[in-house]
Amino acid sequence: MYFETKRSIDRNYIYTQSDENLSFVSHVHNSYEFITVLEGELECSVYYESFILKPGMAMLVLPNHVHGYKTDKYSRSFLCVFSNDYVADFYKETKNGSWGGGNGVYAIFDFTDRGEIELLKNERTNRFLRCAALYGICGRAYDNMAKRADAGNVEELTIKLLYYIQQNYDKVITLKDLANEMGYNYTYLSNMFNKIFGCGFSKFVNTFRSNNAAELLRTTNKSMVQISNACGFESIRSFNEQFKQNYGVTPSDYRAHRSKE
């Protein structure tokens, strides 16, 4: 599970990628995410709901909602992440729920326009044409927005939980401490945490720590002890065990493999 900081604070932000066999863990950010399938089938999840996208179908996920992807056999897809200032009017209307459905989370809709994909992929495309392409996508999504009665509360709670973990994962933290800190009943928070993230608090935090450790292994020459301490693991043994559970290899093997790429 990732909280993507860059895609949550940057303005005038747009990012595109084309993939074969996309699989990406659940993540969340303060940007829109659009994905369309060109070939094969792609399983998309939003919180604890999942859907199969086939060629000619697309999904738009609104900011601050947990989502992820998985390919079982084969898929070819195009993905675009963009900040809300590109579609300011759409953002204002859907955020306030005045579009009619209220509490919008995501939309699944037909999409076959390769021209809009090419406009978004081309780095030379000017901002106005990009805005036009993105508004075209949002326009298709508008009438297909799925809503949840608890979407507003879930979104707020998700952000609170992620920010707390992001700020404290390098320390010893427990769900009981978090419940006291945020003023929630422990049992309620435990149930909601499992619903939102699909796992318990300890597993989520250790996965978060492992993801951050992987980044340090890829981008720094810090020792294993330094990385273990920086990411909040209780010991080197715990670091090795938790990292292997998440990545299938030890931290040392992971670094050695990455250095050869």
178-212 pLDDT tens trace:
999 888 899 999 998 888 777 889 988 998 899 88
Output the CA–CA distances (angstroms, integers) from residue 205 to 14, 21, 34, 129, 186, in the order listed. Answer: 29, 27, 27, 41, 17
Q: Are residues 35 and 58 in contact, defined by beta-carbon separation less than 8 angstroms? A: yes
| Claim to verify: residue 143 and residue 160 sit in the same structural domain | no
Residue that terminates a domain, selected from 147, 179, 214: 147
Total domains in the fold of the chain = 2
Q: What CATH number should be reported for the domain holding residue 213?
A: 1.10.10.60
Summarize the confidence of residues 100-122 as an average pLDDT: 83
Residues 23 and 120 in one domain: yes
Residue 47 has pLDDT above 70, yes or no: yes
Residue 205 sits in the same domain as residue 80: no
Rounded to an integer, the average pLDDT of 121-146 is 91
Q: Which residue has the tokens 């969340």?
A: 28
**DSSP letters for 211-239:** HHHHHHHHH----HHHHHHHTT-SSHHHH
| pLDDT averaged over every residue in the chain | 86
CA dist 171 and 234 (Å) reads 9
pLDDT of 260 strictly over 70: no
* Residue that finishes a domain, picked among 147, 162, 179: 147
CATH code of the domain in which 135 resides? 2.60.120.810
What pLDDT sits at residue 164? 86
Tell me what pLDDT residue 96 has.
56
Query: What single-letter amino acid sits at 256?
Result: A
- What integer pLDDT is reported at residue 217 of this predicted model? 92
Write down the pLDDT at residue 28: 79
Q: Which domain holds residue 158?
A: 151-259
* Domain shared by 137 and 165, yes or no: no
